[in-house]
């Protein structure tokens, strides 16, 4: 999470508080993606950190993957 916070210049608290601000939600999507792919965290566990459902986390990860592809 620390790498994501530094990259997007947001705090850990901002990522975890559920804010819908564009820059914070983008950082949160990247955090979800990395935590899921690199650390094997489940959608349910990740959602529990921020008060989201597993479905919301799944959709956020899907959007983060699309954004990554668009950047290439």
Tokens matching residue 32 = 């979800």
Contact 8/27 with Cβ under 8 angstroms? yes
pLDDT by residue (tens digit) across 48-57?
999 999 999 9
CB atoms within 10 A of CB 39: 10
The span from the CA of 48 to the CA of 43, in Å, is 9
Q: Name the token pair of 66.
A: 């699309």
Residue 47's pLDDT is 95
What CATH code is assigned to 2-71? 1.10.1750.10
pTM of the model: 0.92
40: left (phi over 0), alpha (psi -120 to 50) or beta: left
């Amino acid at each position: 999470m620390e790498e994501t916070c530094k990259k997007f210049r947001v705090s850990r608290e901002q990522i975890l508080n559920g804010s819908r601000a564009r820059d914070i939600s983008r950082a949160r999507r990247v955090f979800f993606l990395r935590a899921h792919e690199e650390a094997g965290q489940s959608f349910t566990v990740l959602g529990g950190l921020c008060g989201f459902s597993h479905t919301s986390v799944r959709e956020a990860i899907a959007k983060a993957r699309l954004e990554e592809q668009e950047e290439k």
